């Protein structure tokens, strides 16, 4: 039954124009980035590495497809929660606000199955968005700018990733980004179970992410104690895959914390939705 | 008689508010069961409990002889329903909506069957149009189509004629009678209009403030000889004085110069004669069946 329900859920998601906003926005942004970097990338890069060039001699194709992809991922992945929440925040509450929840909940399907199907459909949508972003950025990046070693500048060090290692690191980064966005998926789904209005979960998800991100970036001792517990702290862990050596323990710890969040949000969602009186 | 729905002292509270209070009722196979009550009486709450949208605070519900709690999916497979207004995925066509909901009913329904049902409700030719282009009446018809598409044994319709034009109301009424007579369905129909129930239902219950007022065969309940006669006169008080105690035991109230009497049909000419003899001006005489009058009062009070 979950499979049947899942097909219906995917059908619903992809029948709605709203679901394509994220894909269109990503395509436009990737195109703008690549065009901008194609036209003026060298100036941008010179500005970035001018201090380094006083001490080091940098040779080769620095402005390559991998660097472009890294820049695009770093910039756009911050916007992805909005695109995800736009669809997943609406999965339950949208049915309530449109009145179709009444019909859905009178069918011979358990409420747990309804959530499971919506969760899988929402996660599939999130995965497609990540693949779309990664695929467009990497595909066009490599096509236009050609491969090369990836130079990643951090505040305290530089990592040079050999071209041969970049591809798997990008795949791994997309997988970790998918787990990060799954936290957003389950969080917005949980809020969606509490609301009969689809705007509330979407806006609340964004508000929480913005607040947590700001708290996470402020260097205040009080906040330093809570930072490790904010899911937004761990959502950027994919960047650690572009350090040498890779800090496996940090990445594993963050992934575990994100899974704990996912489990927590899902438990609340199932409990709430199964107990809920459908009055809408 | 096979019992299709058995409600046993079900109650539902929302905080301190008792929406339904120890309500018991039985719906038998082949019934068109009218569920009557003024707005806020608890009709929709009861229907939602029958459809497991709301969990009762207490009491038990059996449908097709099975406990709803433990056999929910088995029961729901055999039910078609519209609760309040029929809502669909507006961005999909009627055909696609029906395909989708029939899939969820765990029944494989062919396209032909979908077209057949759409034809039955008068939507043939519009099946490919998105539901957002439909009028309220068309959505109501599509709602009926959705209840029928998986061939359920029990159909639950919550105020299915709300917002329809007179022809739409007649069409729905005829459809309900066809479902009963030609397809042998059991139908539970809620309404706040007694005459609507009277035209289609064979049994009914009236509820008010979540409690049962009366339950039984529609014919028996409405064929009672007790009538409420309303006589609008020039001056009610003077008319009462002039009647000088005549049919005093039958007099029930005086409101806005309208005298009300509770009597049987064959007592009406006698009373009208007596009123004429007093010389008081009579502007109008109407009568209602006692249950009708009672229900009207309930409705007026709730409004």
For A146-191, what is each residue's pLDDT tens digit?
A: 998 998 887 777 888 999 999 999 999 999 999 999 999 999 999 9
The whole-chain average pLDDT of chain A stands at 90
- Residue B285 CA, chain-centre distance (Å), reads 28
Interface check for A4 against chain B (CB to CB < 8 A): the answer is yes
Q: How far is CA B138 from CA A12, A16, A67, A203, B164, in A?
A: 22, 22, 56, 34, 9
Q: Which residues of A17-40 are buried (b: 16+ CB within 10 A; e: fewer)?
A: eebeebbebbeebbeebbeebeee
**Which residues, at least 6 apart from B245, have a Cβ–Cβ distance to it below 8 Å?**
none
Residues 139-198 of B with CB under 8 A from A: 146
Verify whether the Cβ–Cβ distance A8 to B103 is below 8 Å. yes
Interface check for A2 against chain B (CB to CB < 8 A): the answer is no
**Which residues, at least 6 apart from B29, have a Cβ–Cβ distance to it below 8 Å?**
B1, B2, B3, B4, B186
Q: What is the pLDDT of residue A277?
A: 92
3-state SS track over B13-60: EECCEEEEEEEEEEEECCCEEEEECCCCCCHHHHHHHHCCCCCCCEEE
Which residues of chain B have a CB within 8 Å of the CB of A117?
Answer: none
> Phi-psi bin for A192: left (phi > 0), alpha (psi -120 to 50), beta?
alpha
CA atoms within 13 A on the CB side of B149: 32
How many Å apart are CA A131 and CA B74, to the nearest integer? 40
pLDDT at residue B242 is higher than 80: yes
Residue range B235-248: mean pLDDT, rounded: 83
Best of B56, B103, B142 to disrupt the A interface by mutation (most A CBs within 10 Å)? B103
Verify whether the Cβ–Cβ distance B103 to A16 is below 8 Å. no
Residues 97-156 of A with CB under 8 A from B: 98-100, 102-110
Which residues of chain B have a CB within 8 Å of the CB of A105?
Answer: 51-53
Least Cα separation, residue A92 to chain B (angstroms): 14
* DSSP string over chain A: -HHHHHHHHHHHHHHSGGGGHHHHHHHHHHHHHHHHHHHHHHHHHHHHHTTGGGT----S--S-HHHHHHHHHHHHTTTHHHHHHHHHTTTTHHHHHHTHHHHHTTSSS-HHHHHHHHHHHHHHHHHHHHHHHHHHHHHHHHHHH----EEEE-SS-EEEE-HHHHHHHHHHHHHHHHHHHHHHHHHHHHHHHH-SSSHHHHHHHHHHHHHHHHHHH---HHHHHHGGG-HHHHHTGGGGGGSSS--HHHHHHHHHHHHHHHHHHHHHHHHHHHH-----
Verify whether the Cβ–Cβ distance A104 to B104 is below 8 Å. yes
Interface check for A279 against chain B (CB to CB < 8 A): the answer is yes
Residue range B264-293: mean pLDDT, rounded: 84
Which residues of chain B have a CB within 8 Å of the CB of A17?
Answer: 91
Verify whether the Cβ–Cβ distance B105 to A277 is below 8 Å. no
Least confident of A221-230, B35-44, B170-179, B287-296: B287-296
Q: What is the pLDDT of residue A200?
A: 93
pLDDT at residue B291 is higher than 80: no
Q: Which domains does chain B have, with CATH numbers?
A: 3-215 (3.40.50.300), 227-302 (3.30.70)
Least Cα separation, residue B76 to chain A (angstroms): 5
Residues 70-129 of B with CB under 8 A from A: 72-77, 79, 81, 83-85, 87-92, 96, 100-101, 103-106
Global pTM reads: 0.83
C-beta separation of B124 from B157 below 8 A: no
Residue range B37-47: mean pLDDT, rounded: 89
**Which residues, at least 6 apart from B281, have a Cβ–Cβ distance to it below 8 Å?**
B233, B234
**Percentage of the residues of chain B whose pLDDT score is greater than 70:** 97
pLDDT at residue A211 is higher than 80: yes
Interface check for B44 against chain A (CB to CB < 8 A): the answer is no
pLDDT at residue A54 is higher than 80: no
Verify whether the Cβ–Cβ distance B53 to A277 is below 8 Å. yes
How many Å apart are CA A125 and CA B168, to the nearest integer? 41
Q: What residues form DSSP beta bridges with A160?
A: A151
Verify whether the Cβ–Cβ distance B100 to A17 is below 8 Å. no
Q: Give the confidence band of B157 by pLDDT, cuts at 50, 70, 90.
A: very high
Q: Give the confidence band of B302 by pLDDT, cuts at 50, 70, 90.
A: low
C-beta separation of B227 from B264 below 8 A: yes
Q: What is the pLDDT of residue B224?
A: 66
pLDDT at residue B303 is higher than 70: no
Verify whether the Cβ–Cβ distance A7 to B146 is below 8 Å. no
Asked whether the ipTM of the predicted complex exceeds the cut of 0.90, the reply is: no
The residue of chain A nearest to residue B152, with distances taken between CA atoms, is: A107
Tell me the pairing of strands B79-82 and A158-161. Answer: unpaired
C-beta separation of A227 from A233 below 8 A: yes
**Percentage of the residues of chain B whose pLDDT score is greater than 90:** 39
**Which residues, at least 6 apart from B207, have a Cβ–Cβ distance to it below 8 Å?**
B20, B23, B35, B36, B37, B41, B42, B43, B46, B213
Tell me the pairing of strands B58-63 and B3-14. Answer: antiparallel
How many Å apart are CA B182 and CA B222, to the nearest integer? 26
Least confident of A2-6, A221-225, A262-266, B291-295: B291-295
Q: Give the confidence band of B262 by pLDDT, cuts at 50, 70, 90.
A: confident
The token pair at A116 is 């499971």
For B76-111, what is each residue's pLDDT tens digit?
A: 999 999 988 888 999 899 999 999 888 888 788 888
How many other CB atoms are found less than 10 A from the CB of residue A74?
Answer: 15
pLDDT at residue B44 is higher than 70: yes
3-state SS track over A151-216: EEECCCCEEEECHHHHHHHHHHHHHHHHHHHHHHHHHHHHHHHHCCCCHHHHHHHHHHHHHHHHHH
Angle at the Cα of B283 from the Cα atoms of B280 and B289, rounded to 5 degrees? 110
């Amino acid at each position: 039954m979950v499979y049947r329900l899942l097909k219906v859920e995917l059908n619903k998601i992809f029948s709605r124009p709203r679901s394509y906003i994220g894909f269109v926005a990503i395509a436009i942004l990737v195109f703008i980035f690549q065009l901008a970097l194609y036209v003026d990338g060298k100036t941008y890069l010179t500005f970035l590495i001018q201090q380094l060039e006083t001490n080091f001699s940098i040779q080769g194709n620095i402005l390559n497809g991998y660097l472009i992809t890294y820049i695009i991922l770093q910039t756009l992945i911050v916007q992805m929660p909005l695109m995800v929440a736009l669809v997943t925040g609406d999965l339950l509450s949208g049915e309530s606000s449109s009145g179709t929840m009444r019909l859905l909940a009178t069918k011979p399907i358990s409420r747990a199955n309804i959530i499971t199907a919506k969760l899988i459909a929402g996660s599939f949508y999130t995965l497609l968005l990540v693949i779309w972003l990664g695929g467009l950025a990497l595909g066009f990046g490599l096509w236009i700018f050609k491969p090369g070693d990836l130079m990643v500048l951090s505040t305290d060090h530089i990592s040079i990733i050999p071209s041969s290692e970049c591809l798997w690191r990008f795949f791994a980064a997309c997988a970790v980004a998918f787990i990060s966005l799954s936290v957003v998926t389950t969080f917005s789904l949980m809020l969606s179970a509490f609301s009969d209005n689809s705007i509330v979960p979407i806006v609340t998800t964004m508000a929480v992410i913005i607040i947590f991100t700001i708290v996470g970036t402020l260097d205040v001792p009080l906040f330093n104690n809570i930072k490790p517990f904010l899911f937004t702290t761990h959502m950027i862990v994919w960047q650690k895959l572009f350090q040498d050596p890779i800090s496996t323990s940090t990445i594993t710890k963050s992934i575990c914390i994100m899974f704990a969040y996912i489990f927590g949000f899902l438990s609340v969602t199932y409990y709430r939705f199964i107990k809920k009186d459908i009055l809408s | 008689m096979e019992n299709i729905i058995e409600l046993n002292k079900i109650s539902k509270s929302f905080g301190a508010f008792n929406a339904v209070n120890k309500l018991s009722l039985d719906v038998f196979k082949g019934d068109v069961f009218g569920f009557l009550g003024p707005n806020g009486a608890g009709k929709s709450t009861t229907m939602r409990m029958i459809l497991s949208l709301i969990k009762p605070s207490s009491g038990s519900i059996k449908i097709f002889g099975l406990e709803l709690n433990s056999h929910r999916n088995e029961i729901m497979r055999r039910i078609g329903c519209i609760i309040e207004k029929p809502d669909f995925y507006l961005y999909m066509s009627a055909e696609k909506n029906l395909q989708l909901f029939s899939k969820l009913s765990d029944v494989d329904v062919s396209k032909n069957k979908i077209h057949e049902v759409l034809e039955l409700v008068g939507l043939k030719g519009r099946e490919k149009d998105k539901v957002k282009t439909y009028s309220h009446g068309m959505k109501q018809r599509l709602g009926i189509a959705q209840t029928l598409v998986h061939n359920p044994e029990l159909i639950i319709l919550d105020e299915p004629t709300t917002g329809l034009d007179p022809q739409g109301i007649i069409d729905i009424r005829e459809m309900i009678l066809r479902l009963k007579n030609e397809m042998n369905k059991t139908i539970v129909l809620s309404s706040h209009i007694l005459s609507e129930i009277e035209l289609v239902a064979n049994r009914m219950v009236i509820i008010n403030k979540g409690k049962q007022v009366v339950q039984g065969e529609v014919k028996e309940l409405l064929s009672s000889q007790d009538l409420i006669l309303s006589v609008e006169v020039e001056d009610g008080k003077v008319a009462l004085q002039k009647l000088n105690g005549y049919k005093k035991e039958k007099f029930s109230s005086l409101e806005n110069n309208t005298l009300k009497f509770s009597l049987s049909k064959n007592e009406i000419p006698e009373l009208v004669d007596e009123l004429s003899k007093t010389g008081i001006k009579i502007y109008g005489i109407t009568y209602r069946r006692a249950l009708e009058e009672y229900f009207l009062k309930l409705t007026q009070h709730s409004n």
